[in-house]
Structure 1
Amino acid sequence: MEAMMKNVLLLVHDDEGQEARLQAALDLTRALDGHLSCIDVALFPAMVGDIYSPGIAEAMLLTDEREREGKNKTALEARLAHEDVSWDWTDVTGNFVDGVCDVAMLSDIIVLNRKLDQFPYPDMRDVASRILMHARAPIVAMPDDCKRLDLKRALIAWDGQASAAATLRACVPACRSCSAPRRSRSSWRGTAPRTSNRRLQLNICRVTVCMPPCVSSRMVSMPPIS
């Protein structure tokens, strides 16, 4: 029986990569006829404590962070109310990795950033890598300058190992709209897989979809339209 992919988990935070994550999550949710779950993380401040006023500065920064995320939530909920997708919202305080992993058990795919080009913090490359090690779902890692996710093409890195097969099986529902496949050279000499007669067009792209090493370390990529 063919695998289903319905639950899309979106990391929400007021940073430079949020719009790219949101648009990708909306495109995926529509394509899958699925449900969008938003996890809004208010980050704990990262700073060295002051022995003369322990916790005061951290508390002030956390209050500012929560207020900023509150305004962000109000703005995004107003936008989501006019989108043609079903969605829910969860607020947490802590860090991105724990916040996402704590709610990811029932998710079929997770939308993050691969990195933020303009700002070094938060370090989205590190966040995506750490979530990849703990989550049990494919991860879409978006560049921060993308306006939408194009699901017409896909690049599959195939080397014949079980990890590549696991990734391909997990991502077939997201690749239903892909065009006819193209063959590319590989160091592996085996036979390319059949995926329930789904046709997957192989092409070079910029968005990475991957699964954790214990399940799969291979990647399936889908190009955005900037």
Structure 2
Amino acid sequence: MKTILLHLYPDGQQDARVQCALDLARLFDSHITCLQVLPFEQFVGADPLGGVQVYGDVLAALRAQEQAEMERIADWMRNDGVHFDWLQAEGDIGRTIIVQSSLADVTILSQPGQGGPGRLHSASVVGEVVTRALGPIVALPSTGKKFDPAGTAMVAWNGSTESAHAIRLALPFLRMAGSVRVVEVTNDDGAAGECSAVRYLARYDIKADYITEKREGHSTGDAILAAAVRLGADYIVMGAFGHARLMETILGGVTHNLIAGCPLPLLLAH
């Protein structure tokens, strides 16, 4: 876990993302790559004749804001003693994050719709990144709950390729967890038996408990959240389902519901 990609935009959650990156950088002795992306729609518009007009004054103001934030956060990181570099880009936010995440061990975002002014961490952006990025995504909630790998980790398991992939990518974090609970949502009252995910983790010397959570008429997402609260989870590891770019179909219902309003940090992988 040596390279952290940190998406920066001056919204209400930016400092929480910075603090998360700093905490992980110290924990894993990692390098932070800070990424600022200016979306085209903020400084480019269409004129009445069908052409494209660039709002130079808007672009200049946004660049000045970026520079001020860059200086503030760079000072913060230097004072914290971490290694970092900086990337600035213009264009589509989701696509840019995906490209830059190709050699990142983890990417830090905020849960969608909770970023305050600008709402840059919209469901479409986070959904696109989660379902196309090669590495894991840490999605922070607006509750202020910090991502603490040493806390209680809850793994949402359903035997799918996505959930298996999430476990593999989460291994560096799960090794540090104080406890690991593998939770599978079921429709029956059957007692918890053996679980392939628990056996897999045991081979990495990670002791995990296997727990079944009865759906009892609730959605899978609600059942997962109920289990997380009951078990005192500090973060949830889960696979992300989805493939299309349209927000209505980009994420499976469980993934969409959780990233839209989970009070805990999510560690997601597709």
Fold in common (TM above 0.5): yes
- Measure, in 2, the Cα distance between the counterparts of 1:41 and 1:120: 13
1:197 aligns with 2:193: no
TM-score (norm 1): 0.80
Which stretches in structure 1 are left out of the alignment for 5+ residues? none
Residue 157 of structure 1 is matched in structure 2 by 156
**Are 1:14 and 1:72, in contact at CA under 8 Å, matched by a contact in 2?**
yes
Distance 2:61 2:131 in 1: 31
Is residue 32 of structure 2 the alignment partner of residue 27 of structure 1?
A: no
Aligned counterpart, 2:91: 94
1:123 CA displacement: 4.5
Larger Rg: 2
Give the 3 Å change call, closer, same or farther, for CA 211–89 of structure 1 in structure 2: farther
Q: Distance in 2 between matches of 1:12 and 1:18?
A: 6
Q: CA 1:51–1:161 in 2, change beyond 3 Å: closer, same or farther? A: closer
Q: Which amino acid aligns with 1:15?
A: D
1:212 CA drift (Å): 5.5
Contact 2:155 2:180 in 1 (8 A): no
Query: Over residues 73-132 of structure 1, what are the superposed CA-to-partner deviations in whole Å (9 max), with x where a residue is unaligned?
Result: 111111111113221111112232122122111111110011243446324322110112
Query: Unaligned regions of 5+ residues in structure 2, if any?
Result: 187-191, 210-226, 244-251, 256-261, 266-270
Structure 1 residues 11 and 210, CA gap change in structure 2 (3 angstroms): farther
Number of equivalent positions: 218
In the aligned structure 2, how far is the partner of 1:96 from the partner of 1:169? 27
* Structure with the largest fraction of helix: 2
Partner of 1:106: 103
Change in Cα spacing, 1:62 to 1:141, as seen in structure 2 (3 Å) is: same
CA distance in 2, matches of 1:19, 1:185: 34
Tell me the SS of whatever aligns to 1:65: helix
The verdict on how the C-alpha distance between 1:102 and 1:135 changes in structure 2, with shifts beyond 3 A counting, is: same
* Aligned-residue CA RMSD (Å): 3.3
Deviation string, structure 1 residues 151-182 (Cα, Å, up to 9, x no partner): 21211011122322211011010222211334
What TM-score do the two structures reach when normalised by structure 2? Answer: 0.68
One-letter amino acid of the structure 2 residue matched with residue 114 of structure 1: Q
